[in-house]
Amino acid sequence: MVRTVLKAILSFFMSISALMASITGLTGSTNAPKKNRAVNMDQFTLVWSDEFEGDALDTSKWGYEWWVTMRKGGYWHEDMVSVKDGNLVIRAEYLDHPLENRYYDQWHDTIHFEPYKAGWYTGEVVTRGKYEQCYGYFEVRCILPAATGMWSAFWMMNEGVFNVDGSGRDGTEVDVFESFYYKDYWRGGDYISTGIHYDGYGPDEKGDTIGKSYLSNDPYHEYNTYGVEWNENEYIFYINGHETGRLSTGGVSQNPEYLLLSCEFAGENGVQSSDRHGTGEIGKTPAENWPAEFKVDYVRCYQYNRLLG
């Protein structure tokens, strides 16, 4: 009841804020969404999708090996990924004993390989080398994992992201959503974050964000769709088919990008640490939070009709 009242108060003040911004002209030219603008699906044709209707991951569409073993405050492992009840499910939990390492022969000489240890485990899937696309509309329908200290994401990448040349045109990490805010009850908790990154991940990294986007329902127990329309001029982001903001900072990527679905834990070098981007401090209790699950109903990729001829 308290949470419902807080969300109602938050919604009221967000409405007042939006009204004042429109009156004073302070919405900004890059990030401001078009009021009530819905995505125009008539301009697109579906060209690739996964509805996760089987009982195993379709490895003709997805792979696991974009990154190996250690990832931030935990580990990625393919055993944490399953398909059941019409969903891709990426599980997250603490394991007292490490899972089997199946990568040593292939990956032991790369900088990404670290032996598995006891710790926090989850997973990711990626279309790299299997499906990549330039421009169009990309959408996921999912339920977010309900636990602090971690987050899920739907994002796009290509290797041009690592080129340090002051531009995002050769490649940009496009974060359609990241779910950092499960613990944030005083401000409603039901937020996702959206942004872009380019010029690598070192001191030259650049990026931009449309900030937090609020959901009117409970995204940890109810499905929502998160999408991006990517064209030559900008990225336009949507929740449930309605625009939340747009970005073009650094120039829009002009190269095909692959898709990722992932969960991660706050921390580094495989050791979980408290709070990253607002995730809150993780804990093994309450037990009902674990294992947490990121449930994905579908991923769909559409191309502009004009580009299909």
Residue 72: what pLDDT?
81
Report pTM.
0.87
The answer to whether the Cα torsion of 74, 76, 79, 80 is positive or negative is positive
Tokens of 277: 């981007």
Sorted by where each begins, the domain ranges of the chain are 1-29, 31-308
Place of tokens 């279309």: 127
Contact 65, 128 (CB under 8 A): no
Which pLDDT band holds residue 232 (cuts at 50, 70, 90)? Answer: very high
Question: Cα dihedral angle (19, 20, 25, 30), rounded to 10 degrees?
Answer: -60
Model pLDDT, residue 85:
96
Q: Which CATH fold would you assign to the domain 31-308?
A: Jelly Rolls (2.60.120)
Separation of alpha carbons 41 and 241, rounded Å: 9
Q: pLDDT tens-digit profile of 103-159? A: 666 655 655 667 788 999 999 999 999 999 999 999 999 999 998 889 999 999 999
pLDDT in tens, 67-85: 667 788 799 999 999 999 9
User: Which of 139-153, 279-293, 294-308 is predicted least confidently?
Assistant: 279-293
Answer yes or no: is pLDDT of 23 > 60.
no
